Amino acid sequence: MAVLAAGTLALDDVVTDEGSVSGVPGGSALYFTAAASLFTVVRLVGIIGDDFPREELDFLRERSVNLDNLTQLQGEKTFRWGARYETDMNIRRPFRRELNVSEHFDPILDDAGRNADIVFLANLEPAHQLRVLDQMTAPRFRALDTMECYIRDDPDGLKKVIERCELLFVNDSEARIITGEVNLLKAARKLLGMGPRYVLLKKGDHGSMLVAPDFTFAAPAYPVETVVDPTGAGDSFAGGVMGYLAREESCGPDDLKKAVVYGSVAASFCVEDFSIRKLKKITLADIEARMALFRSMTTW
């Protein structure tokens, strides 16, 4: 089953203690797609300029990613983002944000996109997320992610998106900003009151917590010895979750719990190199092998 994924594609400048890169492919939709395409077909919705590397588009096609809803504007530049991570990689200091083609983004879906059963709304302005949802015919499962700037700039728009989705991905600080609660479980309960059936709290290297009205499921992060670049970890986590759900064609509680662990494994590969370099090199067999290791670590 295919996943429709709408979000940003970017060129990133990243500096960590492990090195630095300039102009590498990034963006929420790209990281999500690089992970989700290991499991299923992804229909990618986004916008790029003519400076976006052709070899990255070739990679997506090789992964059977559908690019019919990807817009490329000639003579324009791709969204540009840059950040420096401290030794504690939970601390990120952005130093560059150039919207470029993103200022002209108006997601228009083709017939196949409108009829998708599963949709993931990656980090986008709430107005764009709503634009995508308004074009969908009858999606079976809708999920979204967000980020702090959209929470602060358009809280009303974000609430409209949240109430129309089954699953909300949100990190710990975002959950606290939206709800005003310090305790994450209380924050998750408030978020459930806004409409979604499930809330998936991302806690970085502390793992994640899936909360529903009738259960709570906590999962650790897969331990990684050397983290090179945490950019896109949350997006690739979401890609693993949604890709697994699409492959299984079921979105019940037990499926979601297992999907969360697959998401953790996908994110563990992402952070081992800059950009999507590691996600490009692995296969589903690599995911399954690390899943087996993860299972052995968490069974007693």
The pLDDT score that the predictor gives to residue 250 is 85
Q: What is the pTM of this model?
A: 0.97
Q: Tell me: pLDDT of 188 over 90.
A: yes
The pLDDT score that the predictor gives to residue 234 is 96
Pairing state of beta strands 208-212 and 215-219?
antiparallel
Q: Tell me: pLDDT of 287 over 90.
A: yes
Higher-pLDDT residue of 49, 91? 49
Nearest to 177 by CA among 196, 154, 160: 154
Average confidence score pLDDT of the chain: 96
Structure tokens at 149: 């700037």
The pLDDT score that the predictor gives to residue 194 is 97
**Contact predicate 150/126, CB 8 Å:** yes
**Mean pLDDT, rounded, for 29-37:** 98
In the structure, what pLDDT confidence band is assigned to residue 90 with cuts at 50, 70 and 90? Answer: confident
Percent of the chain with pLDDT over 70: 100
**Contact predicate 150/160, CB 8 Å:** no
**Contact predicate 129/163, CB 8 Å:** no
Q: Tell me: pLDDT of 279 over 90.
A: yes
Q: Tell me: pLDDT of 300 over 90.
A: no
Vertex 229 angle, CA 226 and 231, to 5°: 140
Q: Which CATH number fits the domain that encloses residue 271?
A: 3.40.1190.20
The predicted-structure confidence for 108-140, as pLDDT tens digits, reads as follows: 999 999 999 999 999 999 999 999 999 999 999
The pLDDT score that the predictor gives to residue 22 is 97
The predicted-structure confidence for 93-106, as pLDDT tens digits, reads as follows: 999 999 999 998 99
In the structure, what pLDDT confidence band is assigned to residue 50 with cuts at 50, 70 and 90? Answer: very high
Residue 102's φ and ψ, nearest 5 degrees, are -60, -25
**Contact predicate 132/29, CB 8 Å:** no
Residue appearing with tokens 């997601």: 107
Number of domains comprising the chain: 1
Percent of the chain with pLDDT over 90: 94
**Mean pLDDT, rounded, for 66-82:** 97
The pLDDT score that the predictor gives to residue 104 is 87
Structure tokens at 159: 């609430």
Domain limits for position 183: 3-297
The pLDDT score that the predictor gives to residue 62 is 97
In the structure, what pLDDT confidence band is assigned to residue 43 with cuts at 50, 70 and 90? Answer: very high
Q: Is the dihedral of CA 261, 266, 269, 270 positive or negative?
A: negative
